[in-house]
Structure 1
Amino acid sequence: MASTLPQTMRASQWTTTSGGLDKNLRVNTSAPLPTNAKSLKPGETCVKVAYTTVNPADYKAVETLPFLFSKPATPCMDYSGTVVTTTLPHLKPGELVFGKTEPPVFGCLGEYVVVGKAGCVPVPDSVRLKDAACVGVTGLTSYQCLAPYVKAGDKVFINGGSGGTGTFGIQIAKAMGCHVTATCSGPNVDLCKSLGADEVIDYRSTNVVSHLQRSGTQYDLVVDNVFSDASLYWACHNFLKPSGKYVTVVGTPSLAWLRDILSVFLWPSWLGGGQRKLVFTFCTTNAVEYEKIAKWMQEGKVKAVIDKEYNLEQAGEAFAHLKTGHARGKVLIEVSGE
């Protein structure tokens, strides 16, 4: 099957991040194929990429530490596409697959990518490649923020329900049988309700902390997809059960953010510090968990929410839109199509 691979490929790449990744992406029509594409190692699969989606980690990593990457570099971790060749016995050439690559490899904004066993699973019948591409980082992160900590009947509070992680989080929590309260801005309230949220709080018109304190509801889990500061965490003992967990996955690197994080971990509870367990979740590639999400998608319990679609030449625009912080669900890029 290696003979079916071309000598080069099209890819959207960067050589500098000065002014932001979104301003520096250019299509290279003769980019080299990924390392090992024609001589796969055990457990690897070469995939022709149909679609990818953009995540904050895709630009934050390269803008913060550009010196770690060989240039020109190809961003993006999420993908869906077609198996070209594989060393895995349960996959075959021509099969539709989805998943993610591992940083610092990235690479999904190119026509071909080499992925490991944990990040390559079949796309179920009836699930579109566009939708499967959205699961990569955010779908799996949402699952890992929820599954270890809740069971059917539990109450979950999701701060930030309308972004990529939030839209998957609401649906996954409901698929697990949980009661869900989520926050978002006014224009996205109906979206969050349509995904299954039992209660939606408009953070622009309502003080979220005060509302939660007045409600009297005791949650089993808080998932904070925003964590712009630690104010919600400091108050969470008023609405999060003593046995509950406060899970967060994000943060914008800055001195203020670092101060908040250090204070959360170092300020003891008996001196007025946090009263509940804080857990940072880092997405760990897991094929079994991907298969679980895929099954829910096939059953119609979980769907991808796609805000905007771009082509390879518009990759910079896709990142610029993601950076606004106002994307509803996922931002999709067509790499080579279906």
Structure 2
Amino acid sequence: MKAIFQDRYGPSDLLELRDVDQPVAADNEVLVRVHAAAVNARDWHIMRGDPYLARLAFRPVFGFGGPKRKIRGSDFAGRVEAVGSRVTRFRPGDEVYGDVGDADGAFAEYVCAADSLVEHKPANLTFAQAAAIPLAGSTALMGLRKAGVQAGQRVLINGASGGVGTFAVQIARSFGAKVTGVCSTRNVDLVRSIGAEHVIDYTREDFTRGSQRYDVVFDLVANRSLGEYRRVLTPTGTLILSGGGVSGSRPRLFGPMGLTLSGMARSRFLRHRVLTLTDGPRGSELLAALRELVESEAVVPVIDQTYPLVEAPAAIRYLEVEHARAKVVITV
């Protein structure tokens, strides 16, 4: 089968389309013929081995000279080709979507995934739209649930036009929250169109200097200090930290992990709740909940660009360098 392969850390130019062996489903896995896969920030982080600290902290994913898994991609949507002996929820021909997480391998014609990481595809979506959901949608839903977002609360989403951000705006709105999105000038209309009641253009206004206070701040950018985020919270407010950071030509020591580590270390001493979200496969329960939100039309995936599998390096470069909005999808 064809797959996007990587031998060592570096820029997207190192990624190659190669012929590799087709995977075989284990007893608890499904083999999926991939029709679409989504690009996430984790793909370029792993591609570059960035930040350096991750190479030590996440050994199942990062090696010292290159990624442990040689085929990039975690999000996929497609049709089940075969199932393992212990799989009962799926059968060949089912349309599914999922997130293989640390196993990677979705930028390929076929991928194997544990049945616990796969769910039936939303009936009202194309494969490309469904592939855009798993990691980003699950991260958004998990963060908002963890924060206990309720109707009437004020929620600020920093990075509202990104992959996770576009889902977070819509999901928070579906919970009845009053949503404020932070984004650049070119994305203001987009963020408003998906449900944000108020949009802050960060090129013109510093939200950390404003008078508005929020019950929940969901950070997806890691471009402010812990103190600046806390400044805009209500006395009993919650801060959610979920990665982010800007790519560079060379890996950094801490990158966005610096803010996360600071939040984890100081959270027990602060009056505000500080929650951190870790990367990894999210599971079928979240995917099932997201399917319900999508099929009820409370949430609609937003796709910026699509690329064929052979152009996956360009797709990752676009996300990494061009500050893509919403999701970038690879069709197979």
Unaligned runs of 5+ in 2: 50-61, 246-251
Distance 2:68 2:228 in 1: 44
1:134 aligns with 2:124: no
1:300 aligns with 2:269: no
Distance 1:92 1:63 in 2: 37
Select 2:219's aligned residue among 218, 224, 232: 224
Query: The residue matched to 1:74 in structure 2 has which SS?
Result: coil
In the TM superposition, what are the counterparts of 1:87-166 in structure 2 within 5 Å?
87=84, 88-103=87-102, 105-148=103-146, 149-166=148-165
Conservation of the 8 A alpha-carbon contact between 1:118 and 1:285: no
In structure 2, the partner of 1:23 is 13
In structure 1, the partner of 2:22 is 33
Distance 1:190 1:84 in 2: 41
Query: The residue matched to 2:93 in structure 1 has which SS?
Result: coil
Root mean square deviation of aligned Cα? 2.2
Distance 1:96 1:267 in 2: 44
Distance 1:334 1:177 in 2: 34
Change beyond 3 A, Cα 1:146–1:256: closer
In structure 2, the partner of 1:187 is 186
Distance 1:266 1:292 in 2: 32
In structure 2, the partner of 1:278 is 274
Query: The residue matched to 2:223 in structure 1 has which SS?
Result: coil
Greater gyration radius: 1
Amino acid at match of 1:48: R
1:47 aligns with 2:32: yes
Query: The residue matched to 2:43 in structure 1 has which SS?
Result: helix
Conservation of the 8 A alpha-carbon contact between 1:153 and 1:178: yes
Change beyond 3 A, Cα 1:24–1:193: same
Query: The residue matched to 1:147 in structure 2 has which SS?
Result: helix
Q: CA deviation at 1:153?
A: 2.1
Distance 1:275 1:91 in 2: 46
Q: CA deviation at 1:62?
A: 3.7
Distance 2:130 2:16 in 1: 25
Conservation of the 8 A alpha-carbon contact between 1:236 and 1:276: no
Q: CA deviation at 1:207?
A: 1.5
Amino acid at match of 1:226: V
Distance 2:253 2:135 in 1: 23
TM-score (norm 2): 0.86
TM-score (norm 1): 0.85
Q: CA deviation at 1:276?
A: 2.0
Query: The residue matched to 2:123 in structure 1 has which SS?
Result: coil
Conservation of the 8 A alpha-carbon contact between 1:246 and 1:277: yes
In structure 2, the partner of 1:235 is 228
Q: CA deviation at 1:325?
A: 5.2
Deviation track 1:27-78 (CA, whole Å, cap 9, x = no partner) reads: 11x21112xx1xx33321110000001111112124214536457x110000
Unaligned runs of 5+ in 1: 1-8
Conservation of the 8 A alpha-carbon contact between 2:307 and 2:315: yes
**Number of residue equivalences:** 309
Q: CA deviation at 1:204?
A: 0.3
In structure 1, the partner of 2:74 is 77
Change beyond 3 A, Cα 1:316–1:294: same
Change beyond 3 A, Cα 1:146–1:129: same
Deviation track 1:273-323 (CA, whole Å, cap 9, x = no partner) reads: x55222111245221111111111112111111111101111110011011
**Which has the higher mean CA deviation after the structures are superposed, 60-69 or 287-296?**
60-69
